[in-house]
Amino acid sequence: MKLFTIPGTCALSVHIVLEWIGTPYELDVMARGDNTSAAYLAINPSGQVPALGLEDGKVLTEAAAILTYLADLYPEADLANGSSDSYARYELIQLLSILTGEVHVAFKPFFAPQRFLGDEAQFLHLKDQAFETLKPLLARLDERLGAARWILNDRRSVADAYLYVLLRWVDYAPYGIKAFPDLARFRLLMEDDPAVQAALRAQGMNPVGAGA
């Protein structure tokens, strides 16, 4: 398997999961901009990461699909919320949908305001608005986590890897991670994990710690 990633992006979640599983994998760490090359567009026409090249030559894209695929392929790693029971499976899909389709998407006007507005004078306003949209989403995740160690039924799953990546970005918000004490604690605990540390190192990234 080969993971295509760009440091700082949501592809880190897949990288963490590959480390948790402990299976051999190849890594293609691209620089920003490489994802619009003809070579990469042939791998993922959306130009986005993550993409996962599979052993049979197929490519899987979309973080939620890749994470579910890996959780299913390596049941011994127990990262699928115990999904032999069907409700547990849909709970995992539900949470991955919230994280990828609601929370991640809410960050997009901050990271790429030019995709939403032509008028640069409006960018700051748009970014502020993005963080306002995010606040209740993060508050709900903070409440959902509560005193638990892991976000889904207090059982480690692929959703934790994805949540960690999203929480790294909360430092950009004016309120910061400290506004969400349980998420802040979760983020710190994730950074104690040798698998997370290995993935960060391999992508030339640093832990973000407790936040400002």
Ligand X SMILES: N[C@@H](CCC(=O)N[C@@H](CS)C(=O)NCC(=O)O)C(=O)O
Contact status, residue 201 vs residue 16, Cβ threshold 8 Å:
no
Closest distance of CB 16 from ligand X, Å: 14
Strands 26-29 and 2-5, bridge-based pairing: parallel
Instruction: Give the rounded distance of the alpha carbon of 71 from its chain centre.
Output: 15
Per CB under 6 A, the list member of 28, 62, 128, 193 interacting with ligand X is: 62
Mark residues 9-28: x for contact with ligand X by CB under 6 A, - for none: xx------------------
If you search the block for the tokens 């934790």, which residue do you land on? 160
Closest distance of CB 181 from ligand X, Å: 25
Per CB under 6 A, the list member of 22, 26, 47, 154 interacting with ligand X is: 47
Residue 159 interacting with ligand X (CB under 6 A): no
Per CB under 6 A, the list member of 13, 81, 83, 100 interacting with ligand X is: 100
**Dist. CA 177–CA 210, nearest whole Å:** 8
Q: Within 13 Å and on the Cβ side, how many CA atoms surround 153?
A: 16
Residue 5 interacting with ligand X (CB under 6 A): no
Instruction: Give the rounded distance of the alpha carbon of 178 from its chain centre.
Output: 19
If you search the block for the tokens 């507005």, which residue do you land on? 117
Applying CB under 6 A, the span of 41-49, 86-94, 124-132, 174-182 interacting with ligand X comes to 41-49
For residue 73, give the H/E element and its range.
helix 63-73
Closest distance of CB 147 from ligand X, Å: 29
Residue 203 interacting with ligand X (CB under 6 A): no
Which residues of this protein are in contact with ligand X, per CB under 6 A? 9-10, 35, 47-50, 62-63, 100
